[in-house]
């Protein structure tokens, strides 16, 4: 594979090569006009914005899979296209994270209510007994055929 070390001439493993850090360029950014300070900022990784007011855990601004986002613990909230990543402060980040948490809670409640109604209409025990009965009948018919 790509990440595995290969054996050398006498069976020794070679050390994996260090790869230089990489970062995507933001849309509209021209590589020809990118200066060292901007490049180092892109490579710096997640930028701390401060501590979340409810649990005092750090909130970060980072580059995500689908563009810039804010992170608090495991929760990620994408920045709207109208908001420049350089202009985001802690208050805006907390607001985005709160809205994301509310959307996730509403989605979970919606799925919980629909799954509860499905389980009350068709009990899984009766379904599994029917399936098991059919498979036993097939097994008997196969034995009788031999």
The domain locations on the chain are: 43-114
- End-to-end CA distance of the chain: give it in Å, rounded: 50
**In angstroms, rounded to a whole number, what is the distance separating the alpha carbons of residues 46 and 34?**
20
pLDDT at 43: 83
pLDDT at 121: 52
Largest CA distance in the chain: 82
Residue spans of the chain under pLDDT 70: 1-11, 115-146
- The residues near 131 (Cβ < 8 Å, ≥ 6 apart) are none
Predicted TM-score (pTM) of the model is 0.57
């Amino acid at each position: 594979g790509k990440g595995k070390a290969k054996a050398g001439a006498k069976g020794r493993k070679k050390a994996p090569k260090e790869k230089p850090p990489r970062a995507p360029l933001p849309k509209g950014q021209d590589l020809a006009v990118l200066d060292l300070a901007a490049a180092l900022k892109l490579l710096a990784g997640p930028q701390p914005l401060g501590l979340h007011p409810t649990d005092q855990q750090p909130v970060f601004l980072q580059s995500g899979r689908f563009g810039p986002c804010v992170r608090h613990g495991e929760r990620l909230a994408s920045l709207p296209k109208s908001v420049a990543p350089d202009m985001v402060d802690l208050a805006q980040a907390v607001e985005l994270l709160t809205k994301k948490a509310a959307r996730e809670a509403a989605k979970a409640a919606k799925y919980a209510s629909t799954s509860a109604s499905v389980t009350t209409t068709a009990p899984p025990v009766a379904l599994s007994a029917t399936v098991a009965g059919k498979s036993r009948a097939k097994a008997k018919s196969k034995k009788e055929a031999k």
